[in-house]
Structure 1
Amino acid sequence: MSNDVEHAKRALRAELRERRQLLSDAQRETAAAAIGARLDALVDSIGARSISCFLSTTTEPGTRDFVARAAGRGIRVLLPITRADGLLDWAVATDDGEIAEGLHGLPEPTGEVLSPMAVNDVDLMIIPAAAVDRTGMRMGWGRGYFDKTIGSMQKCPPVYAVIYDSEVLDSLPREVHDQPVTGVVTPTQTLNLSQTRH
């Protein structure tokens, strides 16, 4: 059974990845600006003083300007650093935003490394995703970092996935370890989805 789910996910990820690669630079920039404005509004509506976010890759919906802006406004922004054991360390974003290449070729911050526990203090988590369905079920890119992180938190804050509009799907294949998100932020909307956060 889980083999079928894994195959379905793999096929869907490939399709979503390809769709993202077809976007033009202009489309990416427009989307990043719109998402940044929505993330600013989300942070303000929650009154978040400390958040976690991620540094977007070229094909992901852009978060880097938002991160620099939030850090510049005095909000503590934790950025993930991947570890070989499947957990995430964290570093505090700075406005100069120095970036290095991490374990999987992902952009990562260069600041002082904090333990996986550091994320327990944030008021809001902003995470990447390949797609999210209308029940709040999130599908990532298959490494499980954010599922592990969210699943291990004693008191999980609101979790929002940043995706493109076409990646909000009616339903997704799911496995036991998959963690739901509170909502999604796309270029055109901020959607609250999951009522079942732990």
Structure 2
Amino acid sequence: MPDAIADAKRALRAEIRERRQLLSEQARETAADGIHAQLDALVDELGVRSMSCFLSTTAEPGTRAFVTDAVARGIRILLPVTRTDGLLDWAVATADGDIAEGMYGLPEPVGELLGPIAVNDVDLLVIPAAAVDDTGMRLGWGRGFFDKTLGSMQRCPPVYAVVYDSEVIDEVPSDVHDQRVTGIVTPTRTITLAPTRR
């Protein structure tokens, strides 16, 4: 990756981290409610029966209430579990599932692990992001887990990145390994950029 692109990514991530840290508890709760409503509508619109999602950290737009309610509605949700080789294992979300701190301090489910290919059968992927632009280029947090996952899928379902409204920006710095998403979910809107990724 050219140094200029790497530097631009680092600077943008740092700016976004700082903005997220400054959000009030009320702003976080309001955002989580909005994400819940947007994801509920998306799941209904797409007729999703099986999907992947992630357990949000305190700084991320909240996904946990959505995951809990979706499991209660009978939707099968795979949650990512980081591996040392840069790939993701998956665990099925359960109503009473334990959560522990995984690699990099990320919240991850405790339980039976399914291998990286388990995600090949889902109807929808909902993934974290630092920012997304209107072409669907996503800026992750620099570890490449989701870019590797998306890049290796033979038949990729719709992929939506979850960000705050201010993180939908004009242009995300990118290189050849970065993967685009199908759409963006914010607390106030869902933007579908293309019917399919490929």
For the aligned pair, the TM-score class normalised by the smaller chain equals: over 0.9
Specify every segment of 5 or more residues in structure 1 that has no aligned partner in the other structure, as ranges.
none
2:35 aligned residue? 35
Question: What residue is the counterpart of 1:190 in the other structure?
Answer: 190
Give the CA deviation at 1:196. Answer: 6.1
More displaced, 89-98 or 44-53?
89-98
Q: Secondary structure at 1:8's aligned position in 2? A: helix
* Residue 136 of structure 2 is aligned to residue 166 of structure 1: no
Which residues of 2 match residues 49-198 of structure 1 at below 5 A? 49-194=49-194, 197-198=197-198
Whether contact under 8 Å (1:93, 1:111) holds in the other structure is: no
Q: How many residues of Structure 1 are paired with residues of Structure 2 in the alignment?
A: 198
Q: Which amino acid aligns with 1:165?
A: D
Q: Does structure 1 retain, via aligned residues, the 8 Å contact 2:36–2:63?
A: yes
Give structure 1 regions of 4+ aligned residues with deviation exceeding 6 angstroms: none
Displacement after TM superposition at 1:195 (Å): 5.6
Deviations 1:36-72 (A, max 9, x none): 0110110010001000000000000000000001111
Q: Equivalent residue of 2:39, what SS?
A: helix
Percent identity for Structure 1 against Structure 2: 72
SS of corresponding position for 1:104: helix
Give me the whole-angstrom Cα distance separating, in 2, the residues matched to 1:24 and 1:90: 32
User: What is the one-letter code of the residue matched to 2:119?
Assistant: V
**Greater CA deviation, 94-103 or 18-27?**
94-103
Shift of 1:108: 0.1
Deviations 1:108-164 (A, max 9, x none): 001210000000000000000000001000000000000000000000000000000
Equivalent-residue separation in structure 1 for 2:97 and 2:25 (angstroms)? 21
User: 1:133, 1:196 → 2: CA distance?
Assistant: 17
> Partners in 2 of 1:5 and 1:192 — Cα distance?
26
Measure, in 2, the Cα distance between the counterparts of 1:170 and 1:196: 21
- Report if aligned partners of 1:89, 1:115 keep a CA contact under 8 Å in 2: yes
Aligned to 2:6: 6
TM-score by length of 2: 0.98
AA matched with 2:106: L
Structure 2 unmatched runs, 5+: none
Q: Which residue of structure 2 lines up, in the alignment, with residue 25 of structure 1?
A: 25
